[in-house]
């Protein structure tokens, strides 16, 4: 969906803005023309990125209407195709800049460790913007402006994001509670998934995906695994989140903080967290040094960047096992699944 792609670009831009602003505001020697030049490029980059984000928010408000009309309206279909193409270009540019930020941060850390200073300091260095990147972002921003203007010509309606595609059947969100008295014929499969979860403990992070068509029992298997005593004894923290169509990193991070008891308790003193970076920092502090089992139920996301952004806080954990239910193997591949599990149809005697 185009909405997921636009959310990915917005999330990436939001997380990069602090680094860009720090480069604009970093002190420099008055005799350093190169530093002044870099600061000017950073300021231009910042202005174009902020304008781009405002444009994307306007486009985002019309996407639900556009995706409803895509099937029957060729001009809207072409508009969405162009939108996705430019969004991918924007994602590429921002990913390149994110690489530069990461590289500078690693070098600064090495320098700090070599000098024996382990105290965290406010970033006071300039992240150089690669040649041509300012012009590339400016062209992308101009193309997005044209796309935003075209939405008026197509008479696309703005939405609050609540409406969904009429041609999709949405299932209600499922929790981790399950009535075992009504479950038959899944013991062998449950034990197999548990073995996957508890094996290879030397790997700090792994994903196990349960893949299959709707109604085959993916969520039921996950529910029974989640409450199994052999599993609960092996992890410090547990979380269950129903994902569904839109892989909104901010919403999912909030949901995990609410789902994981320790994360919820630690965050009660901090009210009003809404920024992705603040929420992820809060979650990272809560899972630091812990073992955690997280179930992501009904995942549809095929965007690699969204997944990479989502998993950032879990790098602080000692051991992470993520159990995913999805209908699509491509989704499991994007999440870098270590083990794939496909439930079979129940035997006839269990069905009876």
Question: Nearest-CA neighbor of 45 among 102, 101, 121, 1?
Answer: 101
Question: Nearest-CA neighbor of 327 among 203, 191, 217?
Answer: 217
- Residue 297: what pLDDT? 92
* Positions of CATH 3.40.50.300 in the chain: 180-351
pTM of the model: 0.50
The list of the chain residues with pLDDT below 50 reads 29-31, 120-123, 160-172, 179, 181, 269, 271, 351-352
Per CATH, which fold does 180-351 belong to? Rossmann fold (3.40.50)
- Residue 163: what pLDDT? 40
């Amino acid at each position: 969906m185009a909405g997921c792609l636009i959310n990915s670009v917005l999330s990436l831009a939001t997380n990069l803005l602090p680094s860009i602003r720090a480069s604009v505001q970093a002190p420099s020697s008055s005799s350093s023309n190169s530093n002044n030049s870099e600061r000017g490029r950073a300021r231009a980059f910042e202005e174009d990125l902020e304008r781009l984000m405002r444009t994307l928010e306007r486009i985002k408000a019309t996407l639900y209407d556009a995706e409803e009309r895509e099937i029957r309206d060729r001009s809207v279909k072409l508009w969405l195709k162009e939108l996705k193409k430019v969004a991918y270009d924007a994602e590429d540019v921002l990913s390149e800049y994110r690489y530069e930020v990461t590289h500078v941060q690693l070098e600064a850390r090495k320098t700090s460790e070599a000098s024996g200073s382990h105290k965290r300091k406010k970033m006071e260095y300039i992240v150089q913007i690669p040649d041509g990147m300012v012009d590339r972002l400016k062209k992308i921003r101009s193309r997005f402006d044209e796309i935003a203007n075209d939405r008026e010509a197509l008479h696309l309606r703005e939405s609050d994001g609540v409406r969904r595609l009429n041609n999709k059947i949405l299932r209600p969100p499922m929790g981790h509670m399950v009535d075992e008295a009504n479950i038959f014929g899944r013991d062998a499969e449950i034990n197999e998934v548990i073995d996957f979860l508890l094996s290879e403990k030397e790997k700090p992070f792994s994903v196990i995906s349960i893949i299959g068509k709707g109604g085959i029992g993916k969520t039921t298997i996950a529910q029974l695994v989640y409450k199994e005593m052999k599993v609960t004894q092996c992890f410090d923290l547990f979380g269950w989140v129903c994902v569904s169509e839109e892989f909104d990193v901010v919403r999912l991070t909030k949901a995990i903080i609410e789902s994981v008891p320790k994360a919820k308790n630690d965050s009660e003193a901090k009210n009003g967290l809404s920024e992705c970076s603040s929420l992820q920092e809060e979650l990272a502090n809560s899972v630091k040094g812990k073992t955690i089992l997280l179930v992501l139920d009904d995942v549809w996301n095929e965007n690699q960047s969204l997944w990479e952004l989502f998993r950032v806080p879990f790098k602080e954990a000692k051991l992470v096992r993520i159990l995913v239910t999805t209908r699509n193997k491509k989704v499991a591949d994007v999440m870098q699944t270590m083990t794939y599990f496909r439930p079979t149809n129940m035997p006839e005697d269990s069905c009876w």
